Amino acid sequence: MSEETSLTIEAPQPDQTRAEPAPKQSNLLREIVETALLTAIIFLIVNTVIGRFRIEQVSMQPNLWEGEYVIVDKVSYMLHQPERGDIVVFKKSVGPDLIKRVIGLPGDTVEVRGGQVFVNGVALTEPYLAQPPNYAMPARQIELDHFFVLGDNRNNSSDSHIWGSIPRDDIVGRAWIIYWPPPNWQVLSRPTYAAAEAP
């Protein structure tokens, strides 16, 4: 009589060595690092597109006062040239950045006489001035890629009537918004000079 042998086949058991979920502490650390990186990236992008400038001089009164802060638009002038009437922040070879108003464009002839500024022989209408200039400046033509800038406080401003026009490459951007202090908040608009077309 033959003996029957039976084989027992065991089913494979599931892997008991599964990785434990990462502790919550490491997730928190990762989120902190991601937030810090994202903040740094946003900061760099914002600083590339806009800047901030503190008014340190009286040369732009009565429109900009000492202690006010303005947002500077750095992008617009990548798309087009500064325009007459724009308030711009620019670098000087010595000293801090300055802020003035663009009066003369490349190729313009600018003259100051009789308490008025003339561009290409036409007197500018400047309603933003508190006082007219009490100085005279003989006619001068603005060089290529240069801009003639004046402070709105004409009689208390060191500007192009003293040290000449500024190169385009020195212009940082256009003053756009007064954002501090809050009661002085406003968008800085550009006046239109219909009579001051280039010759």
Residues near 147 by beta carbon (within 8 Å), at least 6 away in sequence: 82, 88, 102, 104, 105, 106, 165, 166, 168, 171
pLDDT tens profile 150-174 = 999 999 999 999 999 999 999 999 9
CA–CA separation, 2 and 22 (whole Å): 58
Domain count, the chain: 1
Query: 121-149 pLDDT, tens per residue?
Result: 999 999 999 999 999 999 999 999 999 99
SS3 call for 38: helix
Within a domain: 33 = no
- What six digits make up the tokens of 186? 């406003």
In a domain, 2, yes or no: no
Task: Give dist(CA 65, CA 56) in Å, integer.
Answer: 8
pLDDT of residue 93: 83
Residue 2: what pLDDT? 47
Which of 59, 157, 160, 165 is the catalytic position?
Answer: 59
**Residue 105 sits in which domain range?**
52-187
100 is catalytic: yes
Task: Judge whether 70 lies within some domain.
Answer: yes
Confirm whether 1 is domain-assigned.
Answer: no
* Dihedral-angle region of residue 144 (phi above 0 means left; psi in -120 to 50 means alpha; beta otherwise): beta
Say whether 59 is catalytic.
Answer: yes
**Per-residue model confidence (pLDDT) at position 39:** 76
Domain contains 79: yes
**Residue 196, Cα to own-chain centre: how many angstroms?**
26
On whether residue 41 sits in a domain, the answer given is no
In this structure, is residue 195 part of a structural domain? no
Cα-Cα-Cα-Cα dihedral of 111, 148, 159, 52, to 10°? 150
pLDDT, averaged per 10 consecutive residues of the chain (199 residues), comes to 51 54 71 80 66 92 96 92 96 91 97 96 93 96 98 96 96 95 93 65
What the block records as the tokens of 183 is 């009661």
CA distance 111 to 133: 12
Which one is catalytic: 100, 157, 160, 165? 100
Q: Are 161 and 135 in contact (CB under 8 A)?
A: yes
User: Can you give the CATH number for the domain in which 183 is found?
Assistant: 2.10.109.10
Residue 4 lies in a domain: no
pTM for the model: 0.77
